[in-house]
Every structure is written in structure tokens, then in C-alpha cells.
């Protein structure tokens, strides 16, 4: 199966998980395509000055692969800068947030899979 770019429609969120501003998430897989093993694979854009708020994962884990831009991740209370090529992994029972610290869009691939 091939999904053409024009068929993938982004969803814009305000103050995601209590974060600031606006983010865009373009789902790359539908819930059915995960076959019960996960719930999210998206190309996400965090606009300048925006963030995804601090939240905890229970029963699943999330991975970010940073494509473009600069940001700061709060990983269980530890702040770290991130940029292109960096990978952020947040396991079940752990918490994180991410914010755009640059002047251009922070783009990433986000994936959430269920804990086995």
C-alpha cells in the first residue's frame, strides 16, 4: 500500500497536554493498521514558541525522531536540548514534554506502541 502525501491530512491541536500554542500532527497510519500493537505514528510539527505539555505514559511508550529544528525535552524532570537526528524514548511509567526553542518549525516523527 502507498499513501500519497496529498491524502494525509494534518490535525492541528491547541495547548496539547497543557502545552503552549499550536502543533500539527499528520497521522501516517490509521488505528486499524497498528493491528492492536500501537496507536500513533505521525509527522508532527511544533511551531515556534509552542510545546507539547508534560505527560506520563502508562501501558505504552513513545519515541520521537527529530527531523528539523531545535527544541528542549523534559525527560522525567531532566531538561535536554534536541536537534535533527536525535531520538527521544519515553517508556511506560515515565513522563516527558517537548518545546520548540528555535525560530523555525520543530519537526519530528512520533510513534506510540503498546507495552507487551
Average pLDDT, the chain: 97
Helix (H, G, I), strand (E, B) or coil at 40: strand
What is the per-residue pLDDT for 116?
Answer: 79
Using the Cα atoms of residue 29, residue 35, residue 37 and residue 38 in order, give the sign of their dihedral. Answer: positive
User: Does pLDDT of 33 surpass 90?
Assistant: yes
pTM: 0.95
Over residues 59-114, the pLDDT tens digits come to 999 999 999 999 999 999 999 999 999 999 999 999 999 999 999 999 999 999 99
Instruction: Write phi, then psi, for 53 (nearest 5 degrees).
Output: -65, 165
Q: Judge whether 14 and 50 are in contact, CB under 8 Å.
A: no
Q: What is the mean pLDDT of residues 10-39?
A: 97
Amino acid at each position: 500500500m502507498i499513501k500519497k502525501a496529498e491524502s494525509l491530512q494534518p490535525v492541528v491541536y491547541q495547548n496539547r497536554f497543557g502545552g503552549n500554542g499550536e502543533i500539527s500532527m499528520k497521522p501516517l497510519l490509521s488505528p486499524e493498521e497498528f493491528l492492536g500493537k500501537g496507536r500513533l505514528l505521525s509527522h508532527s510539527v511544533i511551531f515556534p514558541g509552542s510545546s507539547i505539555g508534560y505527560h506520563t505514559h502508562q501501558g505504552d511508550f513513545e519515541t520521537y525522531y527529530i527531523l528539523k529544528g531545535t527544541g528542549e525535552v523534559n525527560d522525567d524532570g531532566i531538561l535536554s536540548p534536541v536537534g535533527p537526528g536525535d531520538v527521544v524514548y519515553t517508556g511506560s511509567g515515565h513522563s516527558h514534554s517537548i518545546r520548540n526553542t528555535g525560530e523555525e518549525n520543530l519537526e519530528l516523527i512520533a510513534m506510540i506502541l503498546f507495552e507487551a
